[in-house]
Structure 1
Amino acid sequence: MELDIPTRFERDWDRTVEDAPLRFAVVGLGGFARNTALPAIADSDYCETTAVVSGSPEKADRVADEFDAAYALTYDEYADGVGADAYDAVYVVTPNALHLPHVETAAELEKDVLCEKPLEATADRAERLVAVCEDAGVSLMTAYRMQTARSVRWVRRLIDDGVVGDPVQVHGEFSFRLLEQGGPDQWRIDSDLAGGGALMDIGVYPMNTARYVLDADPVAVRATSHATQPAFDGVDEHVAFQLEFPDAVTASCTASFNAASASRFAVTGTEGRIVVDSIFGVDDERRITVETDGGRTVVDAAAPNEVTEEFDYFATAVLTEMDLEPDGRHGLTDVRTAEAVYESSETGTRVEL
């Protein structure tokens, strides 16, 4: 099969958006919100930030000034609906276990929701989060930026088109040294706030990307996880898991908070192989290698920032009634799968989903 190599990766979902911008309240002003999400909204085609929400009034004021937001709100003010007429949608980017109450507020205010992954710290809370949005009739998208990245969407099309034949095995790895980026007191290794460790923060990337490119959900899991350093007491420092998909397809995934940096994803099929080096980081420069009987092709996949793409995709879906993926139930599947990973690791058994 002849490989169609794009000279430039385009949005395959783009359409005319007449009612832009979609106005956002950004709930949670940690490092990712300030350094990545808010600049991405500022650079977007169809979005703007009109309110920011923090537990610190001083931080909210400072960030509102920096990004020209009309409202700087505390969490209590947001919950009381202060300034609600100034925004159309809510982006929730707090620690995992705090997503539910902020989404409940958004649903009560009839605001559409873009919620960071994973949806919540437990499957029960994630299920409640999804239900409250469905009951209120508001859109809910799980913020898996990989699914809006132009290069990753191209990889999925290659697989859908049968370029590598039938998928057989997927491999994904994501790791870095977390403690070099903030010390031992960060919420990502607080089990109450995060729901886990490496799996809940970065292991969900290869997990969800496997589901996305295969367009399938896992039916069973086998896993192991462990921690060796005191800072990771009570959470997984390292995790390895194998997902079983229909038709005997497997995905082998690893994640670590205390290993050399790795960010790689590969799909092996009956007739070829696709490897993406440096895939999961926000600023990764992706190199896609496609190997088939017809030869080997390497593509340096320069494309716009996928966080900006994510916000524009969400805005397009909301403003044009385009089908929205990944929705809340898609995100709920990952939280349930993550709980099965932990169960398998604890029991040493295969867990069916």
Structure 2
Amino acid sequence: MDLEIPTRFERDWNDQADTPVRFAVIGLGGFARNTALPAIEAADYCETTVVVSGSPEKAREVAEEFDADRALSYEEYGAGEGSEAYDAVYVCTPNALHLPHVETAADLGKDVLCEKPLEATADRAERLVAACEDGGVTLMTAYRMQTARSIRWLRRQISDGVVGDPVRIDGEFSFSLLDGGDPDQWRIDPDLAGGGALMDIGVYPINTARFVLGEDPIAVRATAHSTRPAFEGVDEHVTAQLEFPAAVTATCAASFGAASASRFAVTGTEGRIVVDSVFGIDDDREITVETDGGTVTFDATAPSEVREEFDYFAARGESGPDGRHGLVDMRITEAVYDSSERGKRIELRG
């Protein structure tokens, strides 16, 4: 199979939108302020017109910084104030707070881009999805990897048979969370996050495996554990082996207490593709393709995938990773924890 090495990665979707989508950004933590809001500002088809926070002072400060029209408290947002000033909401609060904010958006008839994972539990995620379906609004799960140009290119190579039939996927994402980090942060609060490394970063290799294969796993075996008191009640380390149809397996590992790693590899019957520095925000990715024809390594230079995600939602929200897609990952994460606790293979329901 001939491989065309791109000199630059282009959008492979029809990027057209008649008017900019006006966003209300709900939750103004570090990711929203440092990454999402600048991405909306740089996007082709989006703008921030409303910001929402539990701190009125922070909301006013961020509204001024990003030239938003309105600054609202959670209570004001929940009461529908300022709803005429936005078309869609981006929910970027801790996981266990997604549901009420999405329910409000659905009641107001506003489309939703919701951060992954959809909620802290599958049951709450199911309620969240149902609220959007009942309200007739679009719900997209914010899987930025699915809009990254290089990962979409990778998916096409797998589909085109560049490495033959897929046999195995290996994905890992790890770093030392507490080196200079806040030990009281919500990402390791079981009530707010629903888990630890799996819920925050383990979903990246899991969902990317689903995306590049175009299939969902049928069973999982996993181990999840912690070794330090700061991670009591959540997983510090997790490894899951997913079984896909046609005997394809994916080993997905994540850790909040290991050396930095960010790698994704697809091995097939006729070759292998490896992406290094893959899951971090705006990583400089390097792709290596190994086939019978030789080995080639090149840089995967592309624009911010967070910006791509917002533009994709604005132009193509109906065809993105929807709520039902995000719900599958919630069921996978629960199966991972179940498998670890029971020490057995868990079959996933369709």
Task: Confirm whether residue 344 of structure 1 aligns to residue 339 of structure 2.
Answer: yes
2:9 corresponds to: 9
The 5-angstrom pairing of residues 63-142 of structure 1 reads: 63-142=62-141
Where do residues 189-338 of structure 1 align in structure 2 (5 Å cutoff)?
189-318=188-317, 323-338=318-333
Distance in 1 between residues matched to 2:214 and 2:201, nearest whole Å: 20
Distance 2:238 2:48 in 1: 36
C-alpha displacement of 1:299: 1.8
How far is the alpha carbon of 1:300 from its aligned partner? Answer: 0.3
Contact 2:282 2:304 survives alignment (8 Å): yes
RMSD: 0.7
Deviation at 1:15, TM superposition (A): 3.2
The one-letter code sitting in structure 2 at the alignment partner of 1:347 is R
AA of the residue aligned to 2:13:
W
- Any residues of structure 2 matched to 1:164-203 within 5 Å, and which? 164-203=163-202
Structure 2: gaps spanning 5 or more residues = none
| 1:7 shift after superposition | 1.3
Conservation of the 8 A alpha-carbon contact between 2:15 and 2:312? no
User: 1:71 Cα shift?
Assistant: 0.5
- 3-state DSSP class of the match of 1:135? helix
SS of the counterpart of 2:258? coil
| DSSP-derived class of the 2:61 partner | helix
| Matched residue type, 1:128 | R
Distance 2:65 2:14 in 1: 29
Structure 2 CA distance, aligned partners of 1:66 and 1:114?
A: 22
The C-alpha deviation readout for 1:7-54, integer Å capped at 9, x for no partner, is 110000133322x21000000000000000000000000000000000
Structure 1 letter corresponding to 2:329: D
For residues 297 and 69 of structure 2, the distance between their equivalents in structure 1, rounded to whole angstroms, comes to 46
User: Per the alignment, do residues 315 and 241 of structure 1 end up closer, same or farther by CA in structure 2, a change over 3 Å counting?
Assistant: same
Q: Percent identity at matched positions? A: 76
Secondary structure, aligned partner of 1:11: coil
> In structure 2, what is the Cα distance between the partners aligned to 1:242 and 1:250?
7
Counterparts of 1:232 and 1:140, CA distance in 2: 32
Secondary structure of the residue that 1:101 maps to in structure 2?
Answer: helix
Q: Please state whether the residue corresponding to 1:261 is helix, strand or coil.
A: strand
Matched residues in 1 for 2:201 and 2:316: separation?
A: 26
Q: Cα deviations across residues 301-337 of structure 1 (Å, max 9, x unaligned)?
A: 000000000000000024xxxx422110000000000
Contact 2:190 2:196 in 1 (8 A): yes
After the TM superposition, which segments of 4 or more aligned residues of structure 1 sit over 4 Å from their partners?
A: none
CA contact (8 A) 2:143 2:321 kept: yes
The offset of 1:344, in angstroms, is 0.2
In the alignment, the residues of structure 1 paired with residue 270 and residue 36 of structure 2 have an alpha-carbon distance, to the nearest angstrom, of: 39
Aligned-pair CA distance for 1:278: 0.3
Q: Give 1:23-38 correspondences, 5 Å limit.
A: 23-38=22-37
Unaligned regions of 5+ residues in structure 1, if any? none
